[in-house]
Every structure is written in C-alpha cells, then in structure tokens.
Chains A and B, each alone.
Chain A
C-alpha cells in the first residue's frame, strides 16, 4: 500500500507529510513531524494527553486518522507560547505548581486554552467538566483548576482596556 500525501497547517506553518491510512494524527505529529509534546497515554481517547486543536475545536489526536487532516489547521502544545513568551495558561501552571510529572500537562494546557478562548469567565464546575477528558494522576486536579481560573482572570484583565 503506497502512503498518502497530506497537506496541512501545523502551528501556523504549512506542513506536508506521508502517512499510512491507518496512522493516527498523533502518530504523525510525534513520529513523522517530531512534535512529541502531544503524548499518547491511552490511544483510545480516554486520557486527553494527545489533545490538539483541529480547525478550531479540541480533539484527541489519537482519534483522528492522519489522512483526515488534509487541508485542515492543527494547533499543538508546541504552538501555544508565542516564541519565548509563555501563554498565561502556561505561566499560571508554573506559578501554581499545577504539574508534577508533567506528562499530562501539554494536553491540559491545550484544553484549558481552548476553554478560555471561548469562555473567558468559567466557573470552577465549568473548568472541571471541560477538563474531564484529561486525566492527571499526580495532582488531584486542585492546582490545575486554580491555575486555569487564575489564567482566566489574568486574560480578562489583559483584554480590558486600561
């Protein structure tokens, strides 16, 4: 079986790759493109460690076939910071010690940013339900939820003209 050629945009840059039809988008990001920030914790959509944003919606990249990405726009953890400037969600994860081992962190940050991009003022409950697809085994979620709420507050302040 010959491989399929796919053209996409990844973190703002045009990207082409060859893939097997049965490969997941996550396989291609990690093994072909070298973007190993998205993690595979389960391969079945149950942990969220592979969360990326596909055409504006967050998805588990392990549950997207690589050829489906043709012509689509993908945003991964590697594109969340602007150059060396961390996104407020990233900064707040650091300040709140919202990570221990850090393996689930990229998925949480992509998911949390996706939440704040559409809901600038979520309640604690909204944060918890939005992030329910992301498993963390280290933190008990407490500091993650606080970091996201604090990042939301900071983003609201940034958006408010002084």
Chain B
C-alpha cells in the first residue's frame, strides 16, 4: 500500500492545480471520513491535499446577517459563533450530531457534504436552510445550491480539480426558524437511520409563508421535498397540515433496506421526524404553543 503524496498548499489555486493534476487526489479537511476510508483500503488516493492552512478556510465570516463558513471549519466551532447558532440552530445542531465531540472537533460540514452519504446529518439542515456553497475549480469559482453537490452515494457533481471552499447561509428571515432531527438507535455515535431538516417562516399571526423540508437516508441523496413545504405554506401548522406534510414526506421517501434500517421503518420515521422538526422550527420561529 503506497503512501500518498502529502501536500500543504497555501492558496486555493494551488489546491485546484494539485487536484486537477491527479484524479485520485483527495482534499483533506477534517479527515474523519477520508482517513477511515484510506485506512480500510476502500480509498487509495495518490495524493492528499491538506487545505486547512490556507487563510479563510477555517472560521465563520459574517457578511451582513449572512454567514460564510470556511470549508475546514470544524463542527464544534459553529457552536462557538453565537450569531450563527442563534440564526440557524437547526444547522448548528445537525452538524453537532455527527460522531462524537472528538470527531466534531475535526469534521466539517463541507466534508460531510462532499462525502456524499445520503445519511449525512448536516446536509438536510443545510438544504432546508437554502444554503449554497462556493466551489473552486480550474475555471474559477461558482456558487451552487448545497443539494446539487451529492449525486449518488459517495459521488458528487464536482468536476476534476474542483473542491468546496465555503458554505454560505443566508440571513435568517424575519419570523424564520429551523430544526433538524434524526433517528438513531444510540443517542450519540451513530449514523442517521432517517434525518429531517426543516426551515420555515411564520408571519405575525402564525401563518406559514414559506417552508423547506429536506430528508436524509431515504434515498440515494438528501431529498428536498417541495410538496412537503407546500403542504405547510398558508396554514397555521394545524394537524391537517402536518398530516399532509408527513404524507408528502413519506411519498417522497424511497429508502433502501440495509443494516441501519428497513424501508418501512425509514418511511414511517421520515413522516414522524419531519412533523416533529416542523414543530421545533415553528417554536423557534416564534409560534405560540
């Protein structure tokens, strides 16, 4: 097993050049997926490109009320940014369900996204929040919606030489609230059997004016269920609206049977978790109990 070349470039352009030069090269952020895959032999990269030392790659930048999160920012650092945690608690909580504290001190949302696991915890929350990411590549930078990155388990839409440099979260809309819930057999150290991210906006009288519902582990990629959002918009999140939302979620779920869960259980949980997440998000949006 040959050891990969190890690069520590100091600019985004150098990262892009190194990745473009070797199709087996892998960017190294937190390494919590990459190193496990390397050590198990599932992945044998010719080179590893550690981009953490590039200025701006680690940390949260505030642009007005919006947030730009460097691709190497560990999940635990998100909690330390009070404004981010207040604006997007669902996203921050989702990122801080991954692995253990030890893992979250290294793991990043960008890595969680680019590992392209359908069960990635932070991704449904990011998709629900309408997050985008900035991709750097041989032809410059482009900004794409987060949900466009994963295309299949373990596969992304990134072209050779491309990597995610930052994740952008918009300003929290007035009356907005978000939440992410997942189902796992254990309380920690587990992979989502199903995950549900919700972001919604309530107007002054509690009517939902917009809603996004995204699901993890019920398909080959994280799914944005537009019908579920529509079922909530215009309602006061009454039981009928929630039931319609849950039904839309179940209809959009197309999970597999595997060691972590069965089709029927995953479908059932998608509905339950989405409903619970809506209620948490609504509370955060200021809904009266």
- Rounded to whole angstroms, the CA-CA distance of A51 and B74 in the bound complex is 17
- Rounded to whole angstroms, the CA-CA distance of A58 and B188 in the bound complex is 17
User: Which listed residue, B50, B102, B187, touches A45 by the CB 8 Å rule?
Assistant: B102
- Rounded to whole angstroms, the CA-CA distance of A67 and B47 in the bound complex is 13
Assess the A1–B2 pair: CB atoms within 8 A: yes
Give chain B interface residues in 96-129, CB to chain A under 8 Å. 99-103, 105-106
Assess the B102–A59 pair: CB atoms within 8 A: yes
Which 8 residue pairs spanning A and B have beta carbons closest together? A133-B100, A132-B188, A21-B6, A57-B105, A22-B3, A20-B3, A21-B3, A60-B102
For residue A57, which residues in chain B have a CB less than 8 angstroms away from its CB?
Answer: 74, 76, 105
Assess the A130–B32 pair: CB atoms within 8 A: no
- Rounded to whole angstroms, the CA-CA distance of A57 and B106 in the bound complex is 9
Assess the B4–A22 pair: CB atoms within 8 A: yes
Give chain A interface residues in 43-89, CB to chain B under 8 Å. 43-46, 48, 51, 54, 57-60, 62-65, 67-68, 70
How far in angstroms is the closest Cβ of chain A from B190? 10
Assess the B48–A21 pair: CB atoms within 8 A: yes
Assess the B106–A63 pair: CB atoms within 8 A: yes
Assess the B76–A48 pair: CB atoms within 8 A: no
User: Which listed residue, A64, A111, A129, touches B31 by the CB 8 Å rule?
Assistant: A64
- Rounded to whole angstroms, the CA-CA distance of A43 and B52 in the bound complex is 22
| B289 at the binding interface (Cβ < 8 Å) | no
For residue B38, which residues in chain A have a CB less than 8 angstroms away from its CB?
Answer: 22
Given A44-B39, A45-B32, A133-B100, A59:B105 Cβ within 8 A? yes
Interface residues on A, range: 20 to 34
Residue from the set B52, B100, B106 with the largest chain A CB neighbour count within 10 Å:
B100
Give chain A interface residues in 18-38, CB to chain B under 8 Å. 20-24
- Rounded to whole angstroms, the CA-CA distance of A68 and B103 in the bound complex is 16
User: Which listed residue, A21, A44, A70, touches B5 by the CB 8 Å rule?
Assistant: A21
- Rounded to whole angstroms, the CA-CA distance of A4 and B7 in the bound complex is 11
For residue A58, which residues in chain B have a CB less than 8 angstroms away from its CB?
Answer: 101-102, 105
Assess the A133–B101 pair: CB atoms within 8 A: yes
Assess the A64–B188 pair: CB atoms within 8 A: no
For residue B8, which residues in chain A have a CB less than 8 angstroms away from its CB?
Answer: 67, 70
* Per-residue interface assignment for chain B, residues 5 to 40, with 1 indicating a CB less than 8 Å from any chain A CB and 0 otherwise: 110100000000000000000001001100110111
8 pairs, A vs B, C-beta closer than 8 Å: A22-B38, A59-B105, A59-B106, A62-B39, A64-B106, A111-B101, A111-B102, A132-B101
Give chain B interface residues in 33-82, CB to chain A under 8 Å. 35-36, 38-40, 48, 50, 52, 74, 76
- Rounded to whole angstroms, the CA-CA distance of A23 and B31 in the bound complex is 13
Assess the B188–A129 pair: CB atoms within 8 A: yes
| B204 at the binding interface (Cβ < 8 Å) | no
Assess the B36–A44 pair: CB atoms within 8 A: yes
For residue A54, which residues in chain B have a CB less than 8 angstroms away from its CB?
Answer: 105
| B189 at the binding interface (Cβ < 8 Å) | yes
| B174 at the binding interface (Cβ < 8 Å) | no
Q: Nearest residue in B to A68 (C-beta to C-beta)?
A: B50
How far in angstroms is the closest Cβ of chain B from A37? 16
For residue B28, which residues in chain A have a CB less than 8 angstroms away from its CB?
Answer: 65, 68
For residue A43, which residues in chain B have a CB less than 8 angstroms away from its CB?
Answer: 39
How far in angstroms is the closest Cβ of chain B from A31? 15
4 further contact pairs, Cβ within 8 A, besides A43-B39, A111-B102: A21-B5, A67-B50, A133-B100, A133-B103
